[in-house]
A and B are shown apart, each in its own frame.
Chain A
Amino acid sequence: MIPAAIGTGGEPLLRWSYVRDNYDGPIWEALREHLVLSFTPVLLGLLIALPLGLACARWTRLYPPVLAVTSVLYAIPAIGLFVVFVAFTGLTYTTVVVPLALYTLSVLVPSVVDGLRSVPEHVRQSAVAMGFGPLRRLVQVELPIALPVVMGGLRVATVANISLVSVGALIGIGGLGQLMVTGMKWPGGAYPTPIVVAIVLIVVLALVADLVLMLVQRFLTPWERSGRVSRRAARAARTERAAEVAR
């Protein structure tokens, strides 16, 4: 529908005049709303996923039912959830934030559980043997080791949210998605510029968010980068040993 509209109208994909006239009005508004709508659910989801994931890792019987529920939630199309929530929370931010928080949850709970399961048993055992109590072991040993996997989930959830927020435009709360609606419903035929602006901003936002999270992850897990050095160390070890044998 959109390409056809572009074709018939001979309308350029991007008119800079629109950007110039609207960047500190509707465009900025939409961007701000998009940021709020995508990061609030990530934070909420993380806050709930952490204790829930910990509980699932601790009481393993809890995990299959929780996983089943989160998977089903994940399979429900966003638009469906938004519509259902309108009935409860009306046309407010909450209607978009809650379903997205649920999506975040369904990505993050498995990440937390997988992360905790990635702690090698001998490491856990040696922490116990050295006299770590359960809480200290969790905070000082297990969570740091689980962090790379959890951060991986967080990156996926964040990028997914940034893209999903636009769907909220269908109920009138969609951040940059709102610009797309504006473009599509332009009086006198579709107007591609707002749509292109929205798409570009969403992609840039997703890339920047992912990059920032990656940098945070690197900063928090310096030991993860030791792999490459490790191979170098192994090579050095081999040559050193060869030299010793030769002596």
Chain B
Amino acid sequence: MITFAGVTKRYPDGTVAVDHLDLEIPAGEITVLVGPSGCGKTTTLRMINRMVEATEGTVTVDGRNVRDVDPPTLRRGIGYVIQQAGLFPHRTILDNIATVPLLLGRDKKRARADARALMERVGLDAAFARRYPAQLSGGQQQRVGVARALAADPPILLMDEPFSAVDPIVRGGLQDEFLRLQSELEKTIVFVTHDIDEAVKLGHRIAVFQVGGKLAQYTSPDELLDAPASDFVRDFLGGERGIRRLRFAQELEAEAAAENAPGAVPAKADER
């Protein structure tokens, strides 16, 4: 579990990016942080692995104040995926995936073997192992990013708009696979997006932020659609029409999930 208790982030220029945030992020589930641009989602995410230090309040991971752990150690235990994948252009796909296990000093051979297994798990062709990131499509790079974040088997995964740079069809496929993967792995995932459709599709819980870094509502997708807490949230959901559309999308997803349910065939080659 990750908790924010009275957390404020004020950048040196005076911008208050996160304002007195209290948030409990449950273990083993996907919690989505959603909101308009500049509302403090990335800042919130980065306070978990100390890429940003909170100005006030405390962030704890499994009861432990993150300030008590030195940053590199903390970060090696938390997977991180970003929009542009952030892959190392000078390393092969296999070595990219094995990055953190190697940082942790694990055996090179074993790290590579594990990386190969992960490639299959995230739906990457084994033939990509020796390629460089520039030789992969955006969607494939994103899969590598996910595999890399998972390589050291961290209990927590932070994902900052991981699927928003790929086209909508590929994105849909990546989201489906991500859900399938998560149902096997049950990681604690904090997922940032500005796309409410994605939030509703992926989140067990959704935290809606508004500009100024204030938490507007924190609840399950169903309750969010049933009872938006404020006019801001209602508008963010797209008003009554938006809410109807989101519900409809939710039902479609549920049907599709029921159809494919047991042993669904992984949609593998959609963006190759």
Q: Which A residues lie at the B interface, using CB under 8 A?
A: 120, 122-123, 125-133, 136, 141, 144-145, 221-223, 226-227, 229-230, 233-234, 237, 240-241, 244
Contact = CB atoms under 8 A, between A and B. Distances in A.
Given A130-B100, A230-B134, A237 B272 contact: yes
B137 interface: yes
B76 interface: yes
Given A130-B103, A132-B103, A223-B90, A244 B132 contact: no
Contacts of A144: 90
Contacts of A227: 134
Interface residues of B, number: 34
B74 to A, nearest CB: 8
Interface in B68-83: 71-76, 80, 82-83
From B83, B87, B90, B271, name the one whose CB has the most chain A CB atoms within 10 angstroms: B90
A130 B136 contact: no
Contacts of B86: 122-123, 125-127, 129
Nearest to A236: B272
Interface in B231-272: 269-272
Nearest to B135: A230
Contacts of A122: 82-86
Contacts of A221: 90
Interface string B99-124: 11001000000000000000000000
A127 B87 CA distance: 9
A223 B134 contact: yes
A136 to B, nearest CB: 8
12 contacts: A120-B89, A122-B82, A123-B87, A126-B87, A127-B86, A129-B158, A130-B103, A131-B73, A223-B91, A226-B135, A229-B135, A233-B131
